[in-house]
Amino acid sequence: MKNFFCSDYSRQVGEEIIGSATNYQTYILVECPTPWMTEAFNSKWVPKNLQKLAKEVHRSKQPIRFLLIANDESHKVQETTVLIYHKPEGLSNSYQKQEFKVPNIEKVAEVVEKWLSGEPPDYQIENNINRDILICTHGSYDQCCARYGNPFYFQAKNTISDLQFNHIRIWRSSHFGGHRFAPTAIDLPEARYYGKLDQDSFKSILTKTGDIQFLEKVYRGWGILPPALQVLEREIIFSQGWKWFENKVAGKILQQSLDNNTILAELSFETPAGAFYAYEAKLVKDAVKTQVLKSSCHATQECVVVKYAVASLGLVERRIPSYANSH
């Protein structure tokens, strides 16, 4: 039997990509040289204390995502970069970054434990980097990420240097979901997820220019919002254009039918000028776009991937609801 590539299959059946971003409160990114094992934190360079911490946090069901990251310097440098991206309460358009240069990877667990307990950790640094883009190249987890992620990572590095964007860093990353959309990326601090990327769409994302409709093919959704609301946000992007990216947002599912076929949702936002609005929408299960497919290269069984469509959308001017308030 010839090799099955879930990413090729997803393209062949025309699977819609929106609504596949994962919604975490915190990303903890630890620099660690490759190669990585299938379970990234079992890799040989990851010390036992860090493995243990990552497992404990995972077991505690907190909305925290640990990822390994690396660039071409990672295996040459002594110190370890740790990035913590945390979502503020209330309305926001990005996560807040804290960056640490830790003398070695053995000390990373101590830094993260301090942060998790609310104490200011040592080794924090400031720099002019205002964007970290993660490309999944975790081939031992899913072969599509090696096949499509690796070449994309190299091309993306060249694209960034051609544009002379020295405030943007690009990283290889361990698995963060959606390998069937490889090459797939997270653009931090905004935490927007992309997939099926090529260098043209990547350039538009970097510069926030060009015809916004291309996002239909490559935009997986905004990690700040729950998946069902991601399709609603994309609809708004298409009508508002790139200026939408400047607004601060908070979203909420107001009501969900028992069979999950209908969702009433609200997306509140504040413009840079301080005006406050909300979109109210009805989302319905899209029978045409909902598909049964294999979600990864190793999947032995097919699963139903439910997709939603925006059935109605209204804009109202209003006061800030409690869930969007940070106080």
Dihedral of CA atoms 103, 108, 110, 114 in degrees, nearest 10, equals: 110
pLDDT tens track of the chain, all 327 residues?
456 555 655 666 666 788 889 999 999 999 999 889 888 899 999 999 999 999 999 999 999 999 999 998 888 888 999 999 999 999 999 999 999 999 999 999 999 999 999 999 999 999 999 999 999 987 655 666 677 888 999 999 999 999 999 999 999 999 998 778 889 999 999 999 999 999 999 999 999 999 999 999 999 999 999 888 999 999 999 999 999 999 999 999 999 988 888 999 999 999 999 999 999 999 988 777 766 655 555 656 666 667 788 887 888 877 777 777 865
Cβ neighbors of 294 (< 8 A, separation 6 or more) are 4, 6, 9, 301, 302, 303
Dihedral of CA atoms 35, 36, 38, 43 in degrees, nearest 10, equals: 120
Give kind and range of the element (H or E) at residue 155.
helix 150-162
pLDDT for res 290: 63
**Tokens coding 319:** 């006061």
Best CA proximity match to 46, nearest among 117, 110, 131, 109: 109
> Distances from the Cα of 314 to the Cαs of 80, 184, 268, 283, in angstroms?
48, 32, 12, 12
- SS3 call for 168: strand
Give kind and range of the element (H or E) at residue 136.
strand 131-136
At 242, the amino acid letter reads W
At 2, the amino acid letter reads K
169: exposed, middle or buried (C-beta count within 10 Å: 0-12, 13-18, 19+)?
Answer: buried
CB atoms within 10 A of CB 306: 16
* Cβ contact 151:123 at 8 Å: no
pLDDT for res 307: 78
* Cβ contact 291:16 at 8 Å: no
Cβ neighbors of 15 (< 8 A, separation 6 or more) are 180, 291, 293, 305
Q: HSE on the CB side for 282, CA within 13 Å?
A: 6
Distance CA 69, CA 199 (A): 21
* Cβ contact 185:218 at 8 Å: no
pLDDT for res 4: 59
What are φ and ψ of residue 136, in 5° steps?
-75, 120
Distance CA 143, CA 154 (A): 17
pLDDT for res 327: 59
- SS3 call for 30: strand
